[in-house]
Every structure is written in structure tokens, then in C-alpha cells.
Amino acid sequence: QSKLDDIVSAKDFGIIGDGTTDVAAKINWMLFQIYCRESTNSKSLKRILFPAGTYIVKSPIKIPSDCVIIGEGSEHTIFKYTGSGVNYVAQTADSAQQTGTNIGLSGATFPKNISIAQCSFENTTAYTSVLVERAKHVHFDDVTFIGNHTNDSTYPSTTGDSVGVKVSKEVGDNSYHITFNRCDFKRANSAFVIDAEINNG
């Protein structure tokens, strides 16, 4: 129990970054169990370590309120979207892991207090690596965001916009206090895009 009260490894949930297996469902289930199932219990708020590896996802990772994700370095822990549709590698979610227009339904807490460090998000399609939606206090530290272009200096205009981080909202409140420390943006048209007002970004 003392270990679980401190930090959890993704390996504890059978999640392996082998560069081949789609682990999106397993990651989302783990995040739900740790952060959503007992959201009113402070002991359930733990840090999650993702050991070095490439974690393939074919649907977005839904990052809920109070989530803390730590990798083993942006060159070593990589979340890579390889789905067939235009989608995100990861997106913010509320305390019930709801996204989009469902954020905040049934009394769920809006996305807040999310911290992500020492990892990379790579999108192989022509879209966004990470979507921050209706969220407050989201912090990225030593995170690399990688688009789908073939190199860092040029991009083919026919592929559409590739974005590192997008701040957006379907309805409701604006995002607030999104911070970046020692982050890198590669192979994208734009590093940071906002389609709604943001406060203290």
C-alpha cells in the first residue's frame, strides 16, 4: 500500500511500450482507476511512471484532473498515435474522464492540476499532438511534441496543419494557466494554437 500511495509504474497495469501494441485502452483504464474511480480520496492521487519505450495509441489518451505523468526522458518515453483517423495523441479530461461537450457533466470536476514531464507525444497524422480543453493549471516540463512532417525544416502543405499543442473548447469556460518548461516542438506547422480565449497562458 505504501508503494501505491507514492508512485505507480505503468508496468503494474501490464502496459508495455513495445512500439507495436496499441495500449490506449489499457492506459485510459489505468488513469480511470487511479484518478477517477476514487476522485474524492486524496490517497488515490498518485504519480504514474511510464518507463522508457514507445507506447502506441490508436485512440486518444484521456488525461483526467489531478493526473501526474512522468516518463524517463523525452527521447526515451514516447506516446505515438498511429490511428487511421485525424485525432490526438492525448487530450485533457474531467474527473470522470469525460471529454468534449461532456466535460463537467454529472458534477464532474473540470480538467485541472495536470502535470506531464519527461516524455514525448508524436502524432503520425496531420493533426494535433495534445489537446488542452477547458482545463486549468496544466504544466508540461521537458516534453517534446512531434508532428507528422518528415523533417524539422520543411513541411508539405498538402498534408494540412500539424500542431504541437492546441487549446480549444466546444462550450463553456476558457482554459487557464497552461505552462511550458524546457519543452521542444518538432515537425509541425505550429507549436501552439489557440481557438478560444486563454487566461495567463
For residue 160, the model assigns a pLDDT of 59
For residue 154, the model assigns a pLDDT of 59
For residue 98, the model assigns a pLDDT of 95
The percent of the chain in helix, strand and coil, each rounded to the nearest 5, is 15, 40, 45
Other CB atoms within 10 A of residue 25 CB: 11
94-150 pLDDT, tens digit each: 999 999 889 999 999 899 999 999 999 999 887 889 999 989 999 999 999 998 887
For residue 106, the model assigns a pLDDT of 92
The pLDDT averaged over each successive group of 10 residues in the chain (201 residues) is: 74 95 97 79 75 97 96 97 89 94 91 96 89 94 91 57 83 83 91 76 51
For residue 148, the model assigns a pLDDT of 85
For residue 58, the model assigns a pLDDT of 95
Burial class from Cβ neighbours inside 10 Å (0-12, 13-18, 19+) for residue 154 reads exposed
Burial class from Cβ neighbours inside 10 Å (0-12, 13-18, 19+) for residue 171 reads exposed
> What 3-state class would DSSP assign to 78?
strand
- Going from the C-alpha of 80 to that of each of 41, 46, 61, the distances in angstroms are 31, 24, 10
Maximum CA extent, the chain: 53
- C-alpha span between 67 and 58 (Å, rounded): 21
For residue 155, the model assigns a pLDDT of 54
Exposed e or buried b per residue across 47-86, where buried means at least 16 C-beta atoms within 10 angstroms of its C-beta:
ebbbeebbbbbebbbbbbbbbbbbbeebebbbbbbbbeee
